[in-house]
C-alpha cells in the first residue's frame, strides 16, 4: 500500500503504477462529469473545448451559486457543495472517455464494472474511490470553479475545478485487473448460503 | 387552528435546507454504534471520514451530501386543526412553493427533471414532485411536516418481488439478502434497509420507503415484523459488504420492516434503502408557533 501524490495531467506510466488499495492525493485540476454530460458527448456527438488528456474526471454535479464574474470566480459560479455520485450508471462511458479524450483517472463512488476494468488495463487508467456522501468535506478540497463547458446541461455541465490536496482517495480498480469491488462482492456471495442458514432459510 | 399557507411555505423551505445540513441524532448514534464494533481497518477509515463529514457540514453550515434528492413531504394533521374547503389545495401549493424557494434562495442544486425530456426547471419541482403525503392522526396536536430529501444512489436500488404464498417467509429473507448483495456499494452503505411486506404492489413499495426513512432505534409495531427486523439486521452485517462496498462489518445500520395484510394468493416483498446520509427534518406547527426537530 503506497501513497501517491499526483499532479494532473499524469502519464500512462503514473496511472499504471497505481495498485488496488494504494491511496492517492491529487493536485491542480479535476474535471466534473455526469450522465447527461457523457450522453451529450458520446451519444449526441457534442464536443468539449477542454483538453482532458492525462486528466482525472469525477462523477459529480455540484451545487453552485451564481455570482458576479471575478478572478476568483471566472465563470460566475461559486462552489456551494460538491460531492460524488454513483459511478455504475456511467459504466459504458469509461472506454470512450479514455480512448477519445485520453482520460487516465476516474473518481467516483460504488465502483465500475468489467468493461471499465478492461479499459483501465488496455489503455492505462485507474478508478479512485471517494467516500460517497461526504460532500461537505470534499468541498473543502476544491479551491475554485475555473471553467465550465456544455453549460446548457447545468447542473450536469462539464466543470473544471482547481483542487488542492484532493484526497486521500483509494485506488479501487487498477490497470492490472484488480478490483476491490469484485473482491468484496465475491467474498460476500460466498457467505450467502451461510447467512441464509442462520436465518433458518431451507434450500428447496 | 386553521392552516396558514404562509407558515407552511416557510416551514417547507426551512425543512428542506435543515434536512440537507443536519443529520438526525439517531443516525449519528448509529454511526458510533457501528464504529465501536467494526473490525476492518478500511471500514474504520471510511466510517471515520463519514463522521468527520457530519461535523464539517455543521461547522461550515454546508450540505452533508451534494445530492439534494427527491423532495418528499409527509404531513400529519393532528388534533385541533380545522381542515376546511380549499385547505388541502392551499397546503400542497404552499409546500411546493417552499421547496422551490429553498432551491432558488439557498441556492440548492435542482435534481428534478421531466422523465422524458429530462428538462430541469431548476426549482426541485416537477409533475408530482415534491412527493406529498397527507395523513390524519389524533395523537398529536397541530400539523406535523416531515421532510425527506431522498438520495438517488439509494433510491435507484429499489426492488419489488411478488413472491408466492408457497415460498413463505423464506422468500422474504432470501430476497432481502440478495438485494443487499446486488446493491453492493452503490447505495452508499451503511444503509437503513427498508423492507415492505404484504399489501398490494404499490403499498408494499411504499411500506419499504416508510421503513427505510424511520428513525433508528424504532421498531415495527407488529411483533412478528419486529422479530424479523432483529434477525435480518444481524444477518446482513455478516455479508461483509461494508461501508461504501469496500468491505467490512458495517453494511447496514439496521433492517426496518413495515407490513400490511395481504391477499391469500399474494406474498409481496419490497426493499428500499436509505443511504448513510439518512436525512430527515420535521416541524410541528401549533397555535403556539413552530418547533423544529427530526
Ligand atoms: S446515496 Fe446518499 S450519501 Fe450517497 S451520494 Fe446519494 S444522497 Fe449522498
Q: What are the residues whose beta carbons fall under 8 Å from the beta carbon of A122, sequence distance 6 or more?
A: none
Ligand 1 neighbour B277 (Cβ under 6 A): yes
Count of helix runs (H) and strand runs (E) in chain A: 6, 9
pLDDT at B140: 85
Q: What are the residues whose beta carbons fall under 8 Å from the beta carbon of A180, sequence distance 6 or more?
A: A20, A21, A111, A129, A170, A172, A173, B246, B247
Q: In Å, how far are A62, B19, B87, B121 from B129, measured between CA atoms?
A: 21, 17, 19, 12
pLDDT at residue A203 greater than cutoff 80: no
pLDDT at A103: 98
pLDDT at residue A204 greater than cutoff 70: no
pLDDT at A44: 96
Of B216, B242, B255, the closest CA to residue B45 belongs to B242
For residues A167 and A163, give the distance between their C-alpha atoms in angstroms, rounded to a whole number.
10
Which ligand 1 atom is the nearest neighbour of the CA of B149? Answer: 7
Query: Residue B32: in which H helix or E strand, if any?
Result: helix B25-37
Tens digit of pLDDT for each residue in A43-92? 999 999 999 999 999 999 899 999 999 999 999 999 999 999 999 999 99
Confidence bin at A108 (pLDDT 50/70/90): very high
Mean per-residue pLDDT for A5-18? 98
Ligand 1 neighbour B188 (Cβ under 6 A): yes
pLDDT at residue B77 greater than cutoff 80: yes
Q: Domain B2-19+64-151+278-293 maps to which CATH number in 3.40.50, 3.30.1330, 3.30.70, 1.10.540?
A: 3.30.1330
| pTM reported for the whole predicted model | 0.95
Question: Which of B276, B278, B279 to mutate for ligand 1's pocket (most ligand atoms within 8 Å of CB)?
Answer: B276
Would the CB atoms of B46 and A131 count as touching at under 8 Å? yes
Which residues of chain A make contact with B108, given a CB cutoff of 8 A?
63, 80
CB B188 within 8 A of CB B248: no
Ligand 1 neighbour A81 (Cβ under 6 A): no
Residue A197 within any structural domain of the chain: no
* Residue B198 grid cell: 404484504
Which residues of chain A make contact with B170, given a CB cutoff of 8 A?
200-202, 204
Tens digit of pLDDT for each residue in B26-67? 999 999 999 999 999 999 999 999 999 999 999 999 999 999
Which residue has its alpha carbon closest to ligand 1 atom 1?
A: B153
Q: Around A196, how many Cα atoms within 13 Å sit in the side-chain half-sphere? A: 22
pLDDT at B139: 85
B44 touches chain A (CB under 8 A): no
Would the CB atoms of B64 and A133 count as touching at under 8 Å? yes
Helical residues (DSSP H) of B38-86, grouped into ranges: 41-59
Q: Around B210, how many Cα atoms within 13 Å sit in the side-chain half-sphere? A: 17
pLDDT at residue B258 greater than cutoff 80: yes
The domain in which residue A23 lies consists of: 3-179
Residue A195 within any structural domain of the chain: no
pLDDT at residue B6 greater than cutoff 80: yes
Pairing type for strands A105-108 and A126-129 reads: parallel
Task: Kindly state the percentage of chain A with pLDDT values over 70.
Answer: 100
Domains held by chain A: number: 1
The average confidence (pLDDT) of chain A is: 97
Which CATH number does the domain housing residue A11 bear?
3.20.130.10
What are the extents of the domains in chain B?
A: 2-19+64-151+278-293, 153-274
pLDDT at residue A1 greater than cutoff 90: no
pLDDT at B3: 86
Tens digit of pLDDT for each residue in A120-158? 999 999 999 999 999 999 999 999 999 999 999 999 999
Q: How far is B166 from chain A (nearest CA, A)?
A: 11
Amino acid at each position: 500500500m503506497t501513497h501517491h501524490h499526483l499532479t494532473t495531467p499524469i502519464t500512462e506510466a503514473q496511472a499504471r503504477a497505481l495498485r488496488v488499495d494504494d491511496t492517492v492525493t491529487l493536485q491542480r485540476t479535476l474535471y466534473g462529469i455526469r450522465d447527461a454530460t457523457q450522453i451529450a458527448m458520446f451519444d449526441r456527438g457534442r464536443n468539449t473545448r477542454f483538453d482532458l488528456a492525462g486528466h482525472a474526471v469525477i462523477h459529480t454535479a455540484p451545487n453552485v451559486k451564481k455570482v458576479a464574474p471575478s478572478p476568483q470566480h471566472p465563470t460566475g459560479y461559486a462552489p456551494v457543495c460538491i460531492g460524488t455520485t454513483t459511478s455504475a450508471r456511467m459504466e459504458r462511458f469509461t472506454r470512450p472517455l479514455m480512448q477519445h479524450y485520453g482520460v487516465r483517472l476516474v473518481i467516483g463512488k460504488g465502483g465500475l464494472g468489467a468493461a471499465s476494468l478492461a479499459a483501465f488495463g488496455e489503455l492505462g487508467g485507474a478508478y479512485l474511490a471517494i467516500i460517497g456522501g461526504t460532500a461537505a468535506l470534499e468541498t473543502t478540497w476544491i479551491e475554485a470553479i475555473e471553467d465550465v463547458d456544455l453549460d446548457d446541461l447545468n447542473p450536469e455541465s462539464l466543470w473544471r475545478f482547481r483542487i488542492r490536496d484532493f484526497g486521500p482517495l483509494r485506488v479501487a480498480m487498477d490497470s492490472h485487473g484488480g478490483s476491490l469491488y469484485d473482491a468484496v462482492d465475491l467474498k460476500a456471495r460466498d457467505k450467502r448460503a451461510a447467512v441464509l442458514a442462520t436465518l433458518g432459510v431451507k434450500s428447496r | 387552528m386553521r392552516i396558514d399557507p404562509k407558515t407552511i411555505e416557510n416551514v417547507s423551505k426551512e425543512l428542506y435546507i435543515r434536512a440537507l445540513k443536519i443529520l438526525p441524532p439517531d443516525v449519528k448514534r448509529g454511526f458510533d454504534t457501528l464504529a465501536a464494533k467494526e473490525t476492518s481497518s478500511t471500514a474504520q477509515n471510511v466510517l471515520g471520514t463519514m463522521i468527520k463529514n457530519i461535523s464539517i457540514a455543521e461547522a461550515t453550515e454546508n450540505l452533508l451530501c451534494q445530492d439534494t434528492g427527491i423532495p418528499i413531504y409527509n404531513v400529519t394533521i393532528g388534533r385541533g386543526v380545522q381542515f376546511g374547503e380549499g385547505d388541502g389545495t392551499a397546503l400542497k401549493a404552499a409546500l411546493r412553493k417552499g421547496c422551490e424557494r429553498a432551491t432558488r434562495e439557498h441556492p440548492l442544486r435542482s435534481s428534478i427533471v421531466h422523465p422524458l425530456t429530462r428538462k430541469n426547471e431548476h426549482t426541485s419541482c416537477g409533475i408530482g414532485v415534491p412527493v406529498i403525503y397527507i395523513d390524519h392522526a389524533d395523537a398529536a396536536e397541530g400539523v406535523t411536516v416531515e421532510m425527506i430529501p431522498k438520495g438517488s444512489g439509494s433510491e435507484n436500488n429499489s426492488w419489488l418481488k411478488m413472491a408466492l404464498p408457497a415460498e413463505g417467509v423464506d422468500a422474504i429473507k432470501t430476497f432481502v439478502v440478495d438485494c443487499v448483495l446486488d446493491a453492493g456499494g452503490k447505495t452508499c452503505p451503511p444503509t437503513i434497509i427498508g423492507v415492505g411486506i404484504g399489501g398490494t404492489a404499490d403499498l408494499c413499495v411504499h411500506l419499504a420507503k416508510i421503513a427505510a426513512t424511520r428513525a433508528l432505534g424504532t421498531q415495527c409495531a407488529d411483533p412478528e415484523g419486529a422479530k424479523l427486523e432483529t434477525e435480518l439486521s444481524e444477518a446482513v452485517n455478516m455479508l461483509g459488504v461494508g461501508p461504501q462496498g469496500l468491505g467490512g462489518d458495517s453494511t447496514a445500520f439496521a433492517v426496518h420492516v413495515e407490513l400490511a395484510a395481504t391477499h391469500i394468493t399474494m406474498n409481496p416483498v419490497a426493499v428500499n434503502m436509505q443511504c448513510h446520509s439518512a436525512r430527515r427534518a420535521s416541524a410541528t406547527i401549533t397555535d403556539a408557533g413552530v418547533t423544529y426537530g427530526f
